[in-house]
Amino acid sequence: MSDRHGSYGFDAPWALGGLVLGALGLLALATVSFAFDVPAAGIAFLVGALYTLASAASYAYTTRGGKFAVWKEELGRLRGDERLLDLGCGRGAVLMLAARRLSDGEATGLDLWSTKDQSGNAEAVTRANAEREGVSDRVELVTADMRELPFVDGAYDAIVSSLAVHNIPTTEGRDKAIREAHRVLRPGGLMLIADFQHTPEYEATLRDLGVVDVRRRDLGWRFWYGGPWFRTWMLEARKPA
């Protein structure tokens, strides 16, 4: 049973909706094919429908449960006294998990509050989630662009981001976001960036900045958005002390 109390919506709801509609369309075609005694087409459409339904189920599980389980494990390494920054925090799925571990620390969530990639994304919703989770006393929300972070150098002990950096449309912009994250991370600090696109770019940027303690790893089936072809990768790095 989930111990979450906030409302976190769906990631890219249009994509999940497309999978569901596609499955229903294929089921309709299968029904028509069988009705007109074209069994080969009916079987093909039925297999396609079941495959698409399985993809939709995978997507729904990840956005509603899987990603929370993965991030809970990833954040288990926090001591509890860190200052943490969540880039592109959205409704606070990762931010609240982190804040619950930071009994003597604080968590800052930064976003531009776009609803394109997360349903119901709004600062007021994230604040309400912090209240519901009982962590509002250690959560701060900031409206800003991750390419121009309004923080001093070395301000944070840990920086996290989940499926946010890829929303920056240009290579130059993503490079700048990673460089900004590196700038505001203290020496020895931890960076955890989960994304399903461009993680080799992020790694190259960090190595260009002199970070050698960096690795990229597959987060597994709990973070699939529909199947293994849409898997999520974690970029883990430590800023040189």
Which pLDDT score is estimated for 73? Answer: 97
* CB within 8 Å of 216: residues ≥ 6 apart: 199, 200, 203, 233, 234, 235, 236
Which pLDDT score is estimated for 88? Answer: 96
Residue 1 has pLDDT above 50, yes or no: no
Mean pLDDT of the chain: 95
Could you tell me the pTM of the whole model?
0.91
Which pLDDT score is estimated for 2? Answer: 65
DSSP state at residue 36: T
At residue 47, what are phi and psi to the nearest 5 degrees?
Answer: -60, -40
What does the block give as tokens for 194?
A: 């989960």
What does the block give as tokens for 191?
A: 């960076």
Helices (H), the chain: 13-35, 39-61, 67-74, 93-101, 123-133, 171-184, 199-208
DSSP state at residue 84: E
Q: CA-to-CA distance for 117 and 96, rounded, in angstroms?
A: 19
Q: CA-to-CA distance for 138 and 124, rounded, in angstroms?
A: 16
Distances (CA, A) of 102 to 73, 121, 185: 14, 24, 17
Residue 131 has pLDDT above 60, yes or no: yes
| Burial group, residue 136, by CB count within 10 angstroms (0-12, 13-18, 19+) | middle
3-class secondary structure, 220: coil
Sheet holding 106-111, edge to edge: 139-143, 106-111, 83-87, 156-162, 185-195, 233-238, 213-218
Residue 120 has pLDDT above 90, yes or no: no
Q: Which pLDDT tens digit goes with each residue over 174-222?
A: 999 999 999 999 999 999 999 999 999 999 999 999 999 999 999 999 9
Residue 118 has pLDDT above 90, yes or no: no
What does the block give as tokens for 134?
A: 């009982």
Q: Which pLDDT tens digit goes with each residue over 47-59?
A: 999 999 999 999 9
Q: Is 204 within 8 Å of 174 (Cβ atoms)?
A: no
Residue with tokens 């290579």: 171
CA 192 to chain centre: 11
